[in-house]
Amino acid sequence: MAQASNSRIKVGIVGGTGYTGVELLRLLSQHPNAELVAITSRKEDGLPVADMYPNLRGHVDLAFSAPEKARLTDCDVVFFATPHGVAMAQAQELLATGTRVIDLAADFRLQDTAVFERWYKMPHSCPDVLAESVYGLVELNREAISKARVIGNPGCYPTTVLLGLAPLLEGGKQLVDTQTLIADCKSGVSGAGRKAEVATLFSEASDNFKAYGLPGHRHHPEITAQLEKISGGAVSLTFVPHLVPMIRGMFSTIYARIQPGARDTDFQALFEQRYADERFVDVLPAGSAPETRSVRGSNMLRISVQRPNNGDLLIVLVVQDNLVKGAAGQAVQNMNLMFGLPESAGLDQVAILP
């Protein structure tokens, strides 16, 4: 565990112009134990952050700086809110000076570099760092994260599907059929990022609903790899992502066939017990169902377990804010753990409703 002196942790952000970047800024600017010291963007060098993100006026005084000026090695931790491939190019240098790394892209999510290369169309340039990196899903890897130097922060879809299935698969339980799992997932548009693209224009995405990524989505191998790690066996999951006309929010409807020998299981109790001590996982009472606005702007993930007509199909409903628990909030949760801070430091925002 790192030493969290009574001074604040020095934090740097690489690539803060996207939505995970601005969300990190929102959270870290209110964090009682963190001090933002640098935020880099080659393109926006010199631009005050608040000029790009007017919500930060009065809260963040920093300007973007070109990477070479940023002195990231003076930071205690650096977040990478960058495209895939950037963190792995810089991690080694930072680690060498004692700076920790939390990557919000995919560079440290997949231990199998061949799989990484197939889905992300680039070679993995630093397998050594990858080997020591930890998959940053706190509720699954708390112990390892607290000792980690490098974190691969999970994808948004994986966070919901993994936490929705973990209680059913952990420890090699034979509760559900692991060969016929289905995750029908729905995401708000901010998940696509702040890139100028026709498909996510307001006039294209508003008042519309569609599936996408059917030939294959990059989060699919990430989910499967982690599920297999959790269950200790082969897992086959069908994953269908859809796009919802809302900015934030993710809703996953997960279908699992109950094994004949597990029909007497009290699944509600199973989930409640599994997450009883988790500050950011809320298992809803039996009979209720979640909605995405119940977590808008907060780091909470809510789960409901349904078993229609007490039959053989279990339905797990999971909601989160894709930019918070699905990205920046989870990254801060990892940071807290890595530096021995209270896990919820800076993450106690109440969701905004309506």
Residues 320-349 that bind a second copy (CB under 8 A): 323, 348-349
A 10 A CB-CB count for 272 gives: 17
Nearer to a second copy, 172 or 285 (CB): 285
Q: Does 240 bind a second copy (CB under 8 A)?
A: yes
Q: Does 282 bind a second copy (CB under 8 A)?
A: yes
Given candidates 149, 248, 274, 325, which one binds a second copy under the rule CB under 8 A? 248
β partners of residue 9: 34
C-alpha dist (Å) from residue 249 to 256, 277, 290, 318, 319: 23, 24, 12, 11, 7
Segment 33 to 92, residues that bind a second copy, using CB under 8 A: 53-59
Nearer to a second copy, 216 or 340 (CB): 216
To a second copy, the closest distance from the beta carbon of 302 in angstroms equals 8
Residues 6+ apart with CB under 8 A from 213: 241
To a second copy, the closest distance from the beta carbon of 4 in angstroms equals 22
CA separation for the pair 306, 310 (Å, rounded): 9
- 69-95 burial code (b ≥16 CB/10 A, e <16): ebebeebbbbbbbbebbbbbebbeebb
Q: Does 286 bind a second copy (CB under 8 A)?
A: no
Nearer to a second copy, 63 or 144 (CB): 63
Segment 173 to 232, residues that bind a second copy, using CB under 8 A: 180, 182, 184, 186, 188-190, 192, 194-198, 200-212, 214-216
Q: Assess whether 126 carries a catalytic annotation.
A: no
Please provide the size of the chain in residues.
354
Q: How many residues bind a second copy (CB under 8 A)?
A: 82
C-beta of residue 156 within 8 angstroms of C-beta of residue 115: no
Segment 5 to 24, residues that bind a second copy, using CB under 8 A: 19, 22
To a second copy, the closest distance from the beta carbon of 292 in angstroms equals 5
- Of 75, 126, 156, 185, the active-site residue reads 156
Given candidates 68, 131, 238, 263, which one binds a second copy under the rule CB under 8 A? 238
To a second copy, the closest distance from the beta carbon of 319 in angstroms equals 8
To a second copy, the closest distance from the beta carbon of 195 in angstroms equals 8
Nearer to a second copy, 110 or 189 (CB): 189
Burial of 157 (0-12, 13-18, 19+ CB in 10 A): buried
CA separation for the pair 44, 142 (Å, rounded): 36
Interface map 96-135 toward a second copy (x if CB under 8 A):
----------------------------------------
Residues 6+ apart with CB under 8 A from 178: 169, 227, 231, 233, 234, 235, 236
Secondary structure (3-state) at 155? coil
Question: Interacting stretch for a second copy, rule CB under 8 A, among 89-97, 144-152, 225-233, 307-315?
Answer: 307-315
Backbone angles phi, psi at 209, to 5 degrees: -145, 135
Nearer to a second copy, 170 or 282 (CB): 282
Catalytic residues: 156
